[in-house]
Every structure is written in C-alpha cells, then in structure tokens.
A and B are shown apart, each in its own frame.
Chain A
C-alpha cells in the first residue's frame, strides 16, 4: 500500500509541475465538441440527438491523448525497474500510477463535460446521467489506456498503435455510457446502463492491473 501512495504522490507532483500536459486532453475534448455543430448543422434538436454519443466518443478520444507517455518516462529513467524490486506487488504500484493519471486527466474531463453538453444542447435532465456515467467510466478508460500503454512501452510507433489496441476494448463502455445519457435525455430511467458501466469498471479494476503488470514485466525483460 505504501508503494501505491508513494507512486501516486510522486506522479501528482510531476503532474503539478507540468500542468500544461494535463490541460491538453481537456482542450482537445472541447475542440472536438465544437467541431460537431460545424460538421452538422447547429439545429438544437439535431445536436441534442447526437450529443450523448458525441460526448462519449470525444471522451474516449481525449483519454487516448498522452497515454504513450504514461510509462515511457519511467521506463527510460529506470523507475519501472525499481518498482519491480519493491516488495509491493507491481499491480498495486501500477494502480497508483493509473489513479493519478485519472485524477489529472479523467476527473477534469468529467467536470468539463457539462459545459460541452451545453454546447451540444443536451437536455439538462440528462446531465446527471452524463456526469455519473463519465465518473464511473473514465477510470475504466484510464485502466484500458494504461494497459495499451504498458503493452507498447518498448514498442516502435506506440502512439499510433495505442488507439488500435484500446478503442475496440472500450466498445461496451461507449455503448452503455452513451445509452444512459440518451435514456435520461428522453426522460427514461438511466439506472440500468449506468449500473452496467459501474460493473464494467469493477471488472476492469479487478483484472486490468494484473494484465498491466504482466505487460510491464515483458517490457522490462
């Protein structure tokens, strides 16, 4: 547990010192949202209809940004090898890294999402479903992204490879997350899909750290 906290604290400190990096995905998310009305027509009823899917697709894409650097710096300067030597299981230390990554990139995305929803004329009744869904879903995205980052940490062209590896795995999350928002927007109860998003999160949380640790071990061999 100590290693988890230590890793998280160190990564947070690094993130604070380089605040610019954390802002980039946010900016990307807002810009993508802006492109939607420009690519379609700015009719509110049309925008409201595509908003649930667009917001979730935007979140998925934003979560990919900068992923290739998640383990790369630690791999280059030998920190990962040190983590391997710590008595704490590598999966726990990895969890610390992913938690920080989510805190720095995922949580701000959740906070900005209502603003983007407003730009896309999403009915206000759907805002809770959007925020809760993203709150439950972005940690899953961070874990899946970290898995992709760990698999490609010593690969060539990892930034190009990552989306191909991560996005197919995120299909269920997109389906249930966007569905919850769409249901809430039409006045229905979004609880079912939200529970499915939550269960996807728990499932990923239980298995992904092990897979990430295994992938990092391969990279370090």
Chain B
C-alpha cells in the first residue's frame, strides 16, 4: 500500500467532503450531541408502546399461550445483535481504509451494545426454551450461532483493550472485526449443517408459521425502537470515547 499507486490516496477521493468533516472529533462531538435526543426519545416512546402492545394488546398464541410474548424482546435483540456487528465491522472498515480514528471509536462504542443485545437474545431464548423445549439450553442452530457471535464480540472487545497504545488496539481489533465478518456466514452455515444432523425435530412448535398482523406490529415497533436505541447509545458512547482520547486537545476544554 506504500509504493506508487496509493490505495489510501485513491480511496480518499471517494469519501465525500461531509464525511471528512464528520471525521473531525470536535465536529462529531457537537453533531452527535445534537442528534442523540432525536434518536433517544423516539426509541423510548416506540419501545414503551411496542412493549405495552406486545404484552397486553397482541392476541394470545393458541399453542404457546402467553409464553410467546417474550418474542418482543427476543427477536429484536437477535436482529440487533447482527446489525450491531455490521456497524462494528463497517465502522472498522472505514477506520482501516481511510485511516479515520473516529470510525474506530464508533466501532468500539457499538461493540458492547451489540454484545449486550447478543447476550439478551441468548438469555431470552434460554428462558423461552424452558417452557417450550423443557430445558434451559438446546443446541439449536440459531442459538449456537448467536453464542459464537457473542464470543466474537467479546474477543473484539478484549483485543481492543489489550494494547498500551490505544491506536494499535483500534486497528488490530478492526482487522479482527473484518475477519469475523468474512467468517460469520461460514460459521452460520456450518452450524446450520451441524444442527440438522444432530437436532431431532424438537422445534416444530416454533417452526415457520405465518404470524398475524396483530402480533406483528408490536414486534416491528420494538425492532424500530431498539434500532434507534442502538444508535442513541452508540452516539453517546462514541462521544465519551472521543472525549477520553482527545483529552489532551484544546477543544475538549472549550466543549466542556
């Protein structure tokens, strides 16, 4: 990447001017501070309405009774665990390709949120599994893939934190996030394959059934609310990391 034709120089032209401006820490700090309430409040409202509708308005499932209502926490968590990893990997790619340190900070900010969603998906799946399957843990393909995803998140976080020079932690963990993104489909496929061989048909009760619209809309509200929550928390955490890393800069004193 160093001789003659430079990828970094070439790729710098791709990024629009506003993206380069956004990459400046003081600009990002101020902008993210203004934007956060616009995500946080709708997130709170959507999740409150979605949770209420899911717990009290949506009809009872004729097979699972009220136990199915954990879906309103479980499914959005599982979806967002993947979205969070996409954010981490995407931000890490931007950070590595364009050498934007702020992108790495966004990746670090999103990773613990993603790990929490992954853990929540596993925990609610386990709690759901107890009445449905009769055990706390079933080596179901989706649960297993989710568990490996949690390990990837934890590995990323541990690596990001393992360097005396935090900038090295940024870039090393970024490489790991990209390696993980390449490997995730393979892991998912292999776990699916493995599970079809080992897994008897225990999960037919949760198999593909059309979900009625009355059950679906609270789920979509929860998903939208949780997505906005993810953005709001990521922005807030990214601001905190920005302050910490830039603490020697003059602008931090002026901003606070």
Chain A interface residues (CB < 8 Å from chain B): 147, 151-152, 154-158, 161, 164-165, 167-169, 171-172, 175-176, 179, 196, 200, 203, 207, 211, 214-215, 218-219, 221
Q: B179 to A169, Cβ gap below 8 A? A: yes
Tell me how far the C-beta of A84 lies from the nearest C-beta in chain B, rounded to whole angstroms: 10
Within 8 A of A (CB), among B157-203: 158-159, 162-165, 168-169, 171-172, 175-176, 178-180, 182-183, 186-187, 189-191, 193-194, 197
Q: A156 to B163, Cβ gap below 8 A? A: yes
Q: Would you list the 6 A-B pairs with minimal beta carbon distance, nearest first?
A: A172-B190, A155-B162, A168-B151, A218-B171, A175-B194, A164-B155
Chain B interface residues (CB < 8 Å from chain A): 96, 148, 151-152, 154-155, 158-159, 162-165, 168-169, 171-172, 175-176, 178-180, 182-183, 186-187, 189-191, 193-194, 197
Q: A218 to B175, Cβ gap below 8 A? A: yes
Known A158-B162, A176-B190, A218-B168; contact A165-B155, beta-carbon cutoff 8 A: yes
Q: Is the interface of A mostly helix, strand, loop or mixed?
A: helix
Partner of B193, one of A155, A175, A211, A218: A175
Q: B152 to A157, Cβ gap below 8 A? A: no
Q: A215 to B164, Cβ gap below 8 A? A: no
Q: B155 to A168, Cβ gap below 8 A? A: yes
Q: Is the interface of B mostly helix, strand, loop or mixed?
A: helix
Q: How far is the CA of A161 from the CA of B183 in the complex (A)?
A: 19
Q: How far is the CA of A176 from the CA of B194 in the complex (A)?
A: 8
With most chain A CB atoms within 10 A of its CB, the pick from B154, B168, B180 is B168
With most chain A CB atoms within 10 A of its CB, the pick from B163, B172, B194 is B172
Tell me how far the C-beta of A131 lies from the nearest C-beta in chain B, rounded to whole angstroms: 21
Q: A161 to B158, Cβ gap below 8 A? A: yes
Q: B163 to A155, Cβ gap below 8 A? A: yes
Q: How far is the CA of A167 from the CA of B213 in the complex (A)?
A: 42
| Chain A residues whose CB sits within 8 angstroms of the CB of B164 once the complex forms | 156
Q: How far is the CA of A196 from the CA of B162 in the complex (A)?
A: 34
Q: A152 to B159, Cβ gap below 8 A? A: yes
Chain B residue, CB-CB nearest to A208: B179
Q: B187 to A172, Cβ gap below 8 A? A: yes
Q: B183 to A214, Cβ gap below 8 A? A: no
